[in-house]
Amino acid sequence: MAQKTSQTPTRKLTRAEVAKNNTEDSVWCIIDHKVYDVTDFLDAHPGGSVVLQQVAGQDATSAFYNLHRHEVLQKYQSLCIGTVEGEEPEVVDPRPGDLSTVPYGEPLWLTPAYKSPYYGESHRRLQRAVRTFVDEDIYPEAQEKELDGSYISQGLVDKMARNNMLAMRLGPGKHLHGRELMGGAVDPQEFDYFHDLIVAQELTRGMARGFQDGNMAGMMISLTAVRQWANDAALRDRLTHECLTGKKYMCLAITEAFAGSDVAGIRTTAKKTADGKHYIINGTKKWITNGMFADYFVTACKTEKGISVIIVPRDDNVETKRIKTSYSTAAGTAFIQFENVKVPVNHLLGKEDNGFIVVMSNFNHERWAITGQVIRWMRTVVEECLKWTHQRIVFGKPLITQPVIRQKLAKMISMTEACQSWIESITYQMCNMSYAQQSKLLGGPIGFLKSYSTRCAHEIADDAVNIFGGRGITQSGMGRVVEQFHRIYKFDAILGGAEEVLADLGVRQAMKQMPKAML
Ligand code: HEM
């Protein structure tokens, strides 16, 4: 990942001068033609002081790259004291916003010389702007919060709000009109599902899966429903304004201990008061992303004759407890209890007892976005594996020289490319269908796409860990992206509908469309 780096000192040193610094008092080494004085770093070095003393005064380039990511040098740039006289560094220092130069490190449309029918200039401008923002502002905080488990900072939320990144998370629509998107990178009227896909995929590059969800994923899947189904326009506009300016947080509260993908099985109740002016809500919700810090809960409840979706503001009768899952608590995943929570009836979304359609209408966009994200993770894992297999020397040769490794890479690359092409094809349908058509025709294909992509993620995670060996199960150092992916890809297989449920949905939708014809 690109980081902001300071300038390399201009001092020029000969290899003979470096060689003299091999004493206890002065330990220098050369990495990629640059000279590092690691004397004061000996005790702090995570790999120990002995290994550094062993290379004192020498060129340690291959030893270094066999064990470290290049970003380590960017982080410890202050140890660099100069460059070897007459030599130039060869390793490219990625800058914020840069595209990867590793083959398959970017989708085809971002790879020089390849063409795509789907993306135009505004897509490219937006991609560049969001990538730079992610590299500079999101990545550092994402990495920190993923580790310490704390929630996204208000400062970052405010910054995203100013760029209207929060508004873009909802996808195309009227909520974007009149806003300046990422400094004018794209006209709000032109913003389509490909822009939406770019935002989803680029945000993934914070490479911190818990934080990724902590970064307003709850709002993304709930405010959409509020905007589409609110009966009270003033309430809708107030909540939209509060959430898109980052002043309030919203989440979607559907799943329960009693019901996951089978929404019909929920037990949280909403009963109307005798005067018909309020609902009284009782029950629990589980695995609610952003629930820990949300101000509003868009909640599926059982009403007299069906399911109803109601916006529940946080008050003293709403209790949220942290759930520790396999990704970071930065996601703010909560267990929620509603105990006699009184909510005005204008907080109902859609019609009473007809909430199923409210829940379902939201799912297509959510599942599609989750899929876009997991595909981008798959790609980064492929990139990590390509880098590692070229860098890592085993049995005296780079790992990539082993045919068994190349077979694994072939499978991983093919799966990633297949999934990206498929999502682009579906995104194109989304751009060219009315909302009603999307609901009718795309539920099945998106179900297949998501379940197939997470099956591919499963295969890729498995192979990547084997390629990285011990580092693939270590949370720091070279294999940390792969370790994380192997631990977290299941979130995408479960959230928004479990793999089997979605695959079955696809087949059932196909059954509905079967012609009355015999073989
Ligand atoms: C400027 C020079 C260096 C810096 C700033 C540095 C920094 C680090 C850091 C931050 C780690 C933790 C793991 C990671 O984040 O990748 C590490 C691990 C390590 N380093 Fe260095 N290092 C330097 C040079 C070297 C050299 C020249 C060697 C060997 C000759 C070496 C051997 C090791 C070893 C063996 C580990 C443990 C790696 C593992 O467990 O996989 N380091 N180093």
What is the distance in A from the centroid of ligand 1 to the CA of 145? 23
pLDDT of residue 349: 98
pLDDT of residue 7: 73
Tell me the pLDDT tens digit for each residue of 200-217: 999 999 999 999 999 999
For atom 33 of ligand 1, the residue with the nearest CA is 47
Give the number of C-alpha atoms closer than 13 A to the C-alpha of residue 448, restricted to the C-beta side. 12
Give the number of C-alpha atoms closer than 13 A to the C-alpha of residue 420, restricted to the C-beta side. 24
Average pLDDT over residues 306-317: 97
- CA 49 vs CA 38, 45, 110: distances in Å: 9, 6, 42
> Residue 507: which residues within 8 A CB-CB, separation 6 or more?
444
When pLDDT is cut at 50, 70 and 90, the band that residue 6 belongs to is: low
When pLDDT is cut at 50, 70 and 90, the band that residue 517 belongs to is: confident
When pLDDT is cut at 50, 70 and 90, the band that residue 297 belongs to is: very high
Which of ligand 1's atoms lies nearest the C-alpha of 73? 5
Strands 80-84 and 12-13: parallel
pLDDT of residue 518: 82
- Here the tokens at position 462 are 């498995």
CA angle 205, 208, 211 (to 5 degrees): 110
What is the distance in A from the centroid of ligand 1 to the CA of 26? 18
Return the best residue to mutate from 38, 68, 482, 483 for the ligand 1 pocket (most ligand atoms within 8 A of CB).
68
pTM of the full predicted structure? 0.93
Helices then strands, counting H and E runs in the chain, come out as 17, 14
pLDDT of residue 308: 97
When pLDDT is cut at 50, 70 and 90, the band that residue 5 belongs to is: low
To the question of domain 362-513 being in CATH 1.20.140.10, the answer is yes
When pLDDT is cut at 50, 70 and 90, the band that residue 107 belongs to is: very high
- Here the tokens at position 234 are 């003033």
When pLDDT is cut at 50, 70 and 90, the band that residue 361 belongs to is: confident
Which of ligand 1's atoms lies nearest the C-alpha of 75? 5
Percentage with pLDDT > 90 across the chain: 89
**Rounded to whole angstroms, how far apart are CA atoms 462 and 466?**
7
Q: Is the pLDDT of residue 360 over 90?
A: no
For the ranges 7-11, 53-57, 320-324, 428-432, the lowest mean pLDDT is seen at 7-11
**Rounded to whole angstroms, how far apart are CA atoms 337 and 448?**
34
Give the start-end residues of each E strand in 201-317.
Answer: 250-253, 269-272, 278-288, 296-303, 306-313
> Which residues on adjacent β-strands are paired with residue 29?
36
Q: Is the pLDDT of residue 457 over 70?
A: yes
The yes/no answer to whether this complex scores an ipTM above 0.90 is yes
pLDDT of residue 1: 58
pLDDT of residue 3: 52
- Here the tokens at position 129 are 């702007």
Tell me the pLDDT tens digit for each residue of 40-95: 999 999 999 999 999 999 999 989 998 898 889 989 999 999 999 999 999 988 88
Quickly list H helices, 251-301: none
Query: What one-character DSSP code corresponds to residue 199?
Result: H
Cβ neighbours of 41 (radius 10 Å): 15
What's the CATH class of domain 248-353?
Answer: mainly beta
Percentage with pLDDT > 70 across the chain: 99
- Here the tokens at position 409 are 């890479």
**Rounded to whole angstroms, how far apart are CA atoms 319 and 341?**
10
- Select 110-215's CATH number: 1.10.540, 3.40.720, 3.30.40, 1.10.150: 1.10.540
Tell me the pLDDT tens digit for each residue of 374-390: 999 999 999 999 999 99
| Mean pLDDT over the full length of the chain | 95
For atom 18 of ligand 1, the residue with the nearest CA is 47
For the ranges 57-66, 155-164, 369-378, the lowest mean pLDDT is seen at 57-66
Q: How do the domains of the chain map onto residue ranges?
A: 12-84, 110-215, 248-353, 362-513
**Rounded to whole angstroms, how far apart are CA atoms 302 and 286?**
16
Question: Counting Cβ atoms within 10 Å, is residue 54 exposed (0-12), middle (13-18) or buried (19+)?
Answer: middle
What CATH number belongs to 12-84? 3.10.120.10
- Here the tokens at position 171 are 């996808």
pLDDT of residue 66: 87
What is the distance in A from the centroid of ligand 1 to the CA of 421? 39
Residues contacting ligand 1 via CB (< 6 Å): 29, 36, 38, 45-47, 51-52, 55, 60, 63-64, 67-69, 72, 76, 79, 476-478
Which residue's entry shows tokens 């905080």? 141
N-terminal to C-terminal alpha carbon distance within the chain: 55
Which pairs with CB-CB distance under 8 Å and at least 24 residues apart come from 501-504? 501/261, 502/367, 502/446, 502/447, 502/448, 502/450, 502/451, 503/447, 503/448, 503/451, 503/452
When pLDDT is cut at 50, 70 and 90, the band that residue 2 belongs to is: low
Picking from 384, 447, 456, 458, the residue whose alpha carbon sits closest to that of residue 416 is 456
What is the distance in A from the centroid of ligand 1 to the CA of 64? 7
pLDDT of residue 44: 97
